[in-house]
Structure 1
Amino acid sequence: MSAEPGTVRPGGRTARVRAAVLRAAGDVLAEQGFAHLDLADVARRAEVGKTTVYRRWGSVTGLVADLLDDMAEQSLPRAETGSVREDLRANAHLVQRTLADARQGALFRAVIAAATCDARTAESLRRFYEVRVAEWAPCVERGVERGELPVGTDAATVVRAVSAPLYYALLTTGTAPEPADADRAADAALAAARAEAYVVG
């Protein structure tokens, strides 16, 4: 059974082609949005053969899926400060910097918009966030082990609660969050967690 286009992880020259194509796709998304993402244009920007792009990714949604997978793989690892408060603040600041970045912020807005009307993009976006939440959840789990948070606290929910206000502000105001917004988001999630708002079971 052959793999779905955009799911095979290549090496060597093929890896360089993939990197160039994904970079070009990200540029188009950031500059023009999902509606203007075209495989032929991406191939031209990446300076690779159009046939190569069509054969490997097959469709715009296949390309976006691979782009999100790559972004998840390349994202920075979690912080391990020994304090759940500082770990959550580090997570919030990573999200804030990403959304405030001219290219990355525009790229995320484009992908989120596309996910509202395209099922495969929506699934790829969910997978991206599953990877990122799983990366940071151990910070909360360590906080529970150290007695900083109640036993039974749902780690994934706390991590989502940290970033949710930052995304909401960006999407509803069009203004990128500031570092102070990141601190407030982390502290609010921590206060709710300490008040057992995220205890399950």
Structure 2
Amino acid sequence: MNDSIEDRPAPPPGSTRPGGRTARTRAAVRDAVLTGLSEHGYPALTVEYVAEHSGVHKTTLYRRWGSVEGLLADALDLASEDAWTPPDTGSLSGDLRALAREVVDAFGDPAAGAAPIAFVGAAFQSPRAATALHSFCTERFRRCEVVVTRAVARGEAPRDTDAGAVVRAVSAPLFLRLFVTREPIDGALADQAARAVLAGVEAGAFAPA
């Protein structure tokens, strides 16, 4: 296993990220964390497992990330740096539907959803994971707000519509089923959520009273 990478701590959220070998090592560690979460869940994830599956010596993992919590938090932080952008279908109705469908695609399939569901579960057990998940979701929702900004410009939504509230409302009923009532979700439920939020936007429910 390779233990010759730079032994400095993983950079804090929001800082400039290193490239080259350090970036590749960080990506390999992230992939091992995701695999471990998918296969065993957060309670059974260990530094030894990540070392074996990433090719990075466990001494280096402890030195740079400190613990499983640190590995998990950095994996979420790395995920927030991707180039994902929200859909742009040309209408608020289409954008909301596409956003809701993305939740179903990410969480609805047991195999594909195992790792993200484990991330959410870990946030209930680890304060550091909870902080990282909060940062990840905040960034995702911030990116999504543009669908409302575009809708306002097209005259599809009141000018003072709360964009953050709208994009959160689309996924809220789906996450309720996933993590509270433990019910399945599908495309029909995604479309229903989108229609309900669209009706609320058009009625001014997301604008100040």
* TM-score in terms of structure 2 length: 0.87
Please say if residues 100 and 190 of structure 2, whose CA atoms lie closer than 8 Å, have aligned partners that are also in contact: yes
Q: Quick check: 1:90 aligned with 2:98? A: yes
The equivalent of 2:144 in structure 1 is 136
Please say if residues 9 and 63 of structure 2, whose CA atoms lie closer than 8 Å, have aligned partners that are also in contact: no
The equivalent of 1:181 in structure 2 is 189
Question: One-letter code of the match for 2:62?
Answer: Y
Structure 1 distance, partners of 2:69, 2:133, is 11
Q: 1:64 aligns with which of 72, 79, 82?
A: 72
Per-residue CA deviation, residues 119-159 of structure 1 (Å, 9 max, x unaligned), is: 21111111111111011101111111211111211001100
Q: 1:102 Cα shift?
A: 3.2
The equivalent of 2:43 in structure 1 is 35
Question: One-letter code of the match for 2:96?
Answer: L
Q: 1:73 Cα shift?
A: 2.3
Q: Which runs of 5+ in 2 are unaligned?
A: 1-7
Q: Which runs of 5+ in 1 are unaligned?
A: none
Structure 1 distance, partners of 2:38, 2:170, is 24
State how 1:118-137 maps to structure 2 within 5 Å.
118-137=126-145
Structure 1 distance, partners of 2:81, 2:191, is 25
The equivalent of 1:21 in structure 2 is 29
State how 1:92-111 maps to structure 2 within 5 Å.
92-111=100-119
Structure 2 distance, partners of 1:180, 1:45, is 38
Please say if residues 100 and 177 of structure 1, whose CA atoms lie closer than 8 Å, have aligned partners that are also in contact: yes
Q: Quick check: 1:195 aligned with 2:203? A: yes
How many residues align structurally?
Answer: 199
Q: CA RMSD in A?
A: 1.9
Q: Quick check: 1:52 aligned with 2:57? A: no
Q: Quick check: 1:117 aligned with 2:102? A: no
Q: 1:173 Cα shift?
A: 4.7
Q: 1:6 Cα shift?
A: 5.1
Please state whether the residue corresponding to 1:43 is helix, strand or coil: helix
The equivalent of 1:163 in structure 2 is 171
Per-residue CA deviation, residues 147-200 of structure 1 (Å, 9 max, x unaligned), is: 111121100110000111111112245454211111111111111122222113
Question: One-letter code of the match for 1:35?
Answer: P
